[in-house]
Amino acid sequence: MKRPTTYTLLAVLLAAAGLPAADGQGSVFMWRVQRGETTVHLLGSIHAMKPESYPLPPAIEVAFAAAEVVVFEVDLDEMNGAAFRMLAAGSLEGGRTLEQEIGPELWGRLAATVQGTGLAPAALQFMKPWMAALSVAGLELARAGYQPSAGLDLHLSRRASDDGKERRALETVEEQLGLFTGLSAEESVAFLRSTLDELETMVPLLDEVAASWRVGDVAPVERLLGSEFAELPALREKMVAARNRAWLERIEALLAGDRDALVVVGALHLVGPEGLVALLRGRGYTVSQL
């Protein structure tokens, strides 16, 4: 059986969920929804990008300029202050160490992986396995030039603030952190093991996905990630489907209003029969990829 891609990479990419493509290929990874005179654009995001990914394609710039309201998964200003909460939630309790939690074999692999990265293995000893996985994967992505500070969400949030646009969030910081803090002990260890298994292929995969995202090509992203979610239906429900259903009502409220909006969510949330594009079409809206 093919190993699943790490939760970390899925969280960074938040790209196609291994389900039928919403349209196929447009010019960008963005869809237009209209109701009367109101237009809502749904823009798929990658949450860590390279600085050279900018400037953005013109279609995205046009949609951003027209939007009076810009909606993100979470309030990114609050997310900046959530690091301490995440560190606390990702810390082991009761004096236990990570080596005790995961055993000598996996600990040895982890320690060998971080050698030479500037991160001492001892710095990981009091982290829960999922937190250690995020740390190691983050190092690997950073070495390849992928930066959360250059992610599309943060980039557009800063610009929306500078331009005086209203910013909204689809969920709370606590709900987003819960995607990881809600992992069971077994899932947390599996997350770390999967991260180490896939570390060498993580960056090439993200390179390919980022290139496909830029030209609005959904199909290659689905081929890359399809089998992972097929093998992890509970993860798909938790990270994708349940959140999409919760967000749908808020997007419909935007369409019922009189101000144009841009909704920026991980590209994963826009495709497939559980994606926001399909859910909106099921409600009778016309949704077109640009």
Please write the tens of the pLDDT for every residue from 220-256: 666 655 555 666 677 778 888 899 999 999 999 999 9
pLDDT number for residue 133: 92
CA gap 7, 24 in Å, rounded:
25
pLDDT number for residue 107: 97
* Least confident span in 158-172, 201-215, 239-253: 201-215
CB 275 within 8 A of CB 269: yes
In terms of pLDDT, which residue wins out, 115 or 279?
279
Tell me the pLDDT tens digit for each residue of 24-36: 445 899 999 999 9
Read out DSSP for 55-100?
A: SPPHHHHHHHHH-SEEEESS-HHHHHTTHHHHHHHTB--TT--HHH
Average pLDDT rounded to a whole number, residues 184-190: 90
Average pLDDT rounded to a whole number, residues 181-188: 88
Residue 167, SS3 per DSSP: strand
Residue 234 class from Cβ within 10 Å (0-12 exposed, 13-18 middle, 19+ buried)?
exposed
pLDDT number for residue 116: 77
For the chain, the structural domain boundaries read 15-81+146-185+198-289
* Least confident span in 8-12, 61-65, 261-265: 8-12
Residue 2's pLDDT band, with cuts at 50, 70 and 90, is very low
CB 170 within 8 A of CB 71: yes
